[in-house]
Chains A and B, each alone.
Chain A
Amino acid sequence: MSALLEVDGLEVDYGTARALDGADLRVAAGEAVGVVGESGSGKSTLGAAIGRLLPRQAVVAAGTVRVAGEPVLDLPPAALRRLRRQRLGFVFQDPIASLDPTMKVGAQLRLVLRAHGRESPGGRDGGRGGGDVAFHLERVRLDDPRVAAAYPHQLSGGMAQRVAIALAMAASPELLVADEPTASLDSQVREEVLNVVFALARQAGTSIVWLSHDLPAVARRCDRVAVMYAGRVVESGPAADVLGDPVHPYTAALARSAPAVAVPGVRLEPVPGRPPVLTGPSPGCAFAPRCPFAEDRCATERPEPVRVGAKDVLCHRAAELEVIA
């Protein structure tokens, strides 16, 4: 059975800086996958690569990306556009900036709907194309009719993000990639927006790839979780499994150091050291310098994914560590 999204050994460089160093990811149809990593782990690059949205300075050194079997990185422009239109949807970090500042919200939605040929022939009632626009706004719980007549800068962050979600979901994509969609929102609004995303996706059968730095939050809502470090996916598997029983030392450290899991009276342990800035393929395991379980070969041999239970772990000592942890 081939998955909806298959990323294999993806390597991406920005000039001399390496953003992805052999990343693998699998997403099945209807599945919600959270990709967790610190800044610089490469998750945004991975998200952009799924739709071939990397800036010109980025160079794909190796690897493939397949969406519904189609090789995204090799498609000719027209086919690529068709793929993006029909199968993909994107939501970005800055909600207001991802909307056209010179157009009213309703007009933007109408433009997208028209382009997708979805506007019903008799849908132009009330002079504002009421029918379908209102429907799509209601789907993201924006019921107030004033929203459609507003400009993006007049909306709050949460409302703007919901408009962005409506725009992305208007064509009923099969895969929605959300790059830290709630990073710039207040915590209350955050929950609302996430509720909207997941409810809508579930309803439409859309898979989700949710890029975030918040492991517990991701684990709560997603079916599966992938943890990224230095441009590779170091651990992936069912969400509860990865959070509750992490095998990879980095995932374990991440899970222990998250404020959300703090226990009163017990000190949070940050992970000592810093993630590396790569200028080429990492010769061994990138986490080795900070890893309490590192052996000699960790610095010189690149690890391959090891199957441990339901998880894939990128560690030479995965089998042993499962027992220890």
Chain B
Amino acid sequence: MKETAGEKETAGVKGVKGRRPRQRLDPLSLTGLGCLLLLVLVALGSLVHAGGDPDAIVGPRLRPPGPGWWLGTDNLGRSMLPRVMEGVGTTLLLSSAAVLVTAALSAGFGILAGYRGGYLNELIMRVVELLYSFPAIVLAILVAAVAGPGQLAAVASIVLVTIPLMTRLVRAAAVAVAERDYVTAAAISGAGLPRILGRHVLPNVAGTIAVQGTYALSVGISVEGGLSFLGFGVQPPQASLGVLIRQGGTYMMAAPWLIIGPGVVLVLAILSINVLGDGLRDRFEPRETRSLI
């Protein structure tokens, strides 16, 4: 009787293999993602001059939005629509490139520091702390002063500004993983370092990187915007959202659409990324909630 009982173990009781519901992002975050994808489309469109030629003069100067120039014209008579599109493209491109570099570097440094420990850890964290001590804009200005204003300065400052926090978080995650028993077991059974890092540490750290990378992107856009706004980032005639806002500022009184267009798009970009980041964080690091009642 006992033997058959063993074989019958999963039969007859419903729902033995209860499945966890697939987790999805909440509606707000999905909206953010959608918005972001829309902006990417706009950026791609700018590459083929979908909204027009950003440098071409199409009409009279400083005209409010209307047919032929749906976002108005600037002080040279250029249509704002393609200029804003180009601005989106430049801003997104520079920020994304910078964040990718940051992600790679901080993943490397963070995992090294967290997993290896010792004075490598000390060294890396000291440098990180150094960078972290500067306000973002101040660091960006310093970079621009050394490297000269331009796209390189923009990208480099975003990288330097976002590396500290990301490295710290990756390191913390790596430390938590390194202490887990399965990693020790893998090490004891002779797995080489790259294998341990690739197979065990990296997948667990990936979630943190994804979430923080998203936030870093919004920081990057903000930093690039500020730097270019002050005149030390992207240089005209190239347009980024920060440059456009700076240029529009001069004619603000007469032609408010010059800054409203790029301004709204900028805020939209940052907001949708932040909202997406929040959603990703809830998805990857879900938290219980408790009522105080």
- Across the interface, B5 reaches (CB within 8 A) one of A55, A278, A286, A289, namely A289
Determine whether the beta carbon of B18 is less than 8 Å from that of A274: no
Determine whether the beta carbon of A292 is less than 8 Å from that of B2: yes
**A248-288 contacts to B (CB < 8 Å):** 272-274, 276-280, 282-284, 286, 288
- Tell me the complex Cα distance, A273–B8, Å: 9
How extensive is the interface on chain A, given as a class? 20 to 34
Q: Is B21 interfacial (CB-CB < 8 Å)? A: yes
- Tell me the complex Cα distance, A190–B9, Å: 35
Residues of B contacting A294 in the complex (Cβ-Cβ under 8 angstroms): 5, 8
- Tell me the complex Cα distance, A183–B12, Å: 33
Which residue from chain A places its CB closest to the CB of B1 in the assembled complex? A292
Determine whether the beta carbon of A299 is less than 8 Å from that of B5: no
Determine whether the beta carbon of A289 is less than 8 Å from that of B14: no
Q: Is A112 interfacial (CB-CB < 8 Å)? A: no
- Across the interface, A55 reaches (CB within 8 A) one of B10, B18, B289, namely B289
Residues of B contacting A293 in the complex (Cβ-Cβ under 8 angstroms): 1
Q: Is B6 interfacial (CB-CB < 8 Å)? A: yes
Determine whether the beta carbon of B11 is less than 8 Å from that of A277: no
Determine whether the beta carbon of A279 is less than 8 Å from that of B288: no
Produce 1/0 per residue, A187-225, CB < 8 A to B. Answer: 000000000000000000000000000000000000000
**B7-38 contacts to A (CB < 8 Å):** 8-21
Which residue from chain A places its CB closest to the CB of B11 in the assembled complex? A289
The distance from the CB of B286 to the nearest CB of chain A, in whole angstroms, is 10
Residues of A contacting B20 in the complex (Cβ-Cβ under 8 angstroms): 16
**B261-293 contacts to A (CB < 8 Å):** 288-291, 293
- Across the interface, B10 reaches (CB within 8 A) one of A57, A80, A279, A289, namely A289
Determine whether the beta carbon of B6 is less than 8 Å from that of A273: yes
- Tell me the complex Cα distance, A57–B5, Å: 35
The distance from the CB of B257 to the nearest CB of chain A, in whole angstroms, is 47
Produce 1/0 per residue, B19-59, CB < 8 A to A. Answer: 11100000000000000000000000000000000000000
Determine whether the beta carbon of B2 is less than 8 Å from that of A277: no
Determine whether the beta carbon of A278 is less than 8 Å from that of B15: yes
- Across the interface, A272 reaches (CB within 8 A) one of B9, B288, B290, B293, namely B9
Which residue from chain B places its CB closest to the CB of A298 in the assembled complex? B12
The distance from the CB of B8 to the nearest CB of chain A, in whole angstroms, is 5
Determine whether the beta carbon of A299 is less than 8 Å from that of B12: yes
Residues of B contacting A126 in the complex (Cβ-Cβ under 8 angstroms): none
Residues of A contacting B290 in the complex (Cβ-Cβ under 8 angstroms): 55-56
Residues of B contacting A279 in the complex (Cβ-Cβ under 8 angstroms): 14-15, 18
- Across the interface, A277 reaches (CB within 8 A) one of B18, B21, B293, namely B18
The distance from the CB of B4 to the nearest CB of chain A, in whole angstroms, is 9
Which residue from chain A places its CB closest to the CB of B15 in the assembled complex? A279
- Tell me the complex Cα distance, A97–B17, Å: 33
Q: Please, could you name 12 A-B residue pairs with CB atoms under 8 Å apart, sorted by A?
A: A15-B21, A273-B6, A273-B10, A276-B13, A276-B16, A277-B17, A277-B18, A288-B8, A288-B12, A289-B11, A292-B1, A294-B5
